């Protein structure tokens, strides 16, 4: 029981540290947008299991793809996630972040939190965290009950399925989306 409590407490500290780092990155208006994006990339790479999530969201298509396609896909997946979320946080303003509870279930730690910005309703986020080899990594998050990983899986599978089961079609679609996001103001 003490070990589980330590794991839970560690997960809470991990999520609080992540929230603070993200907030500090986007609140620093002295940084150029490209620097914000690269700081955010570092946060994502250090704290999310992007390879594991990337593999999971394409499911059986991972096993059917070549080693070269897998490498390209994981690079594009990382770029897509960074572009997509950096764009969403671009106009971020200070908000209060609060941990509500932490539950360990099925070898994962679920950290329930809220973000309260003065001009809007609180947003509830549940972080699904794995603890392996002495490190915490996020494998999913749910915003108001909607799973990020499951949403990506559904969207990505649809693109692949509609293009003859080819992972290359998803890579092309993600590259187009990245270009679109980069061209948005």
Q: Are 103 and 109 in contact (CB under 8 A)?
A: yes
H-helix segments, the chain: 2-27, 33-47, 50-58, 60-64, 67-89, 148-161, 167-183
Question: To 5 degrees, how large is the angle CA 181–CA 167–CA 83?
Answer: 20
User: Could you give the CA distance from residue 44 to residue 39 in angstroms, rounded to a whole number?
Assistant: 9
pLDDT digits over 30-65, tens only?
A: 878 788 888 889 999 999 999 999 999 999 999 999
Closest by CA to 97, choosing from 15, 7, 5, 11, is: 15
Bridging pattern class, strands 146-147 and 108-116: unpaired
**Residue 112 burial class via C-beta count within 10 angstroms: exposed 0-12, middle 13-18, buried 19 and up:** middle
Instruction: Measure Cα distances from 119 to 87, 92, 93, 159 in Å.
Output: 20, 12, 10, 36
pLDDT bracket for residue 142 (50, 70, 90):
very high
Q: Which of 93, 95, 82, 92 is nearest to 43 (CA)?
A: 82
Q: Which structural domain range is residue 54 located in?
A: 2-183
Number of domains in the chain: 1
pTM of the model: 0.88
Q: Among all chains, which residue has been given the structure tokens 């997946």?
A: 77
Q: Which two tokens stand for residue 107?
A: 């070898």
Query: Over the chain, what is the mean pLDDT?
Result: 89
Q: What is the CATH number of the domain that holds 48?
A: 3.10.450.710
The whole-angstrom separation of Cα 53 and Cα 149 is: 7
CB–CB of 78/174 below 8 Å? no
Which pLDDT belongs to residue 90? 64
Positive or negative: CA dihedral 1, 103, 21, 85: positive
Q: How confident is the model at residue 123 (pLDDT cuts 50, 70, 90)?
A: confident
Q: Cα 149 to chain center, whole Å?
A: 8
């Amino acid at each position: 029981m003490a070990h589980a409590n330590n794991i839970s407490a560690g997960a809470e500290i991990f999520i609080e540290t992540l929230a603070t780092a993200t907030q500090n990155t986007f609140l620093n208006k002295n940084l150029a947008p490209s620097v914000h994006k690269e700081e955010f990339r570092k946060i994502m790479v250090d704290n999310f299991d992007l390879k594991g999530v990337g593999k999971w969201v394409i499911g059986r298509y991972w096993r059917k793809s070549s080693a070269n396609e897998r490498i390209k896909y994981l690079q594009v997946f990382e770029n897509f996630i960074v572009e997509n979320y950096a764009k969403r946080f671009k106009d971020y303003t200070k908000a209060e972040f609060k941990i509500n509870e932490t539950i360990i279930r099925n070898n994962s730690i679920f950290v329930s939190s809220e973000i309260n910005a003065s001009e809007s309703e609180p947003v509830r986020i549940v972080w699904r965290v794995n603890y392996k080899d002495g490190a915490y990594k996020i494998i999913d998050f749910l915003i108001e009950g909607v799973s990020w990983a499951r949403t990506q899986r559904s969207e990505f599978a649809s693109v692949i399925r509609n293009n003859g089961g080819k992972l290359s079609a998803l890579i092309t679609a993600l590259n187009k989306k990245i270009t679109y996001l980069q061209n948005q103001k």
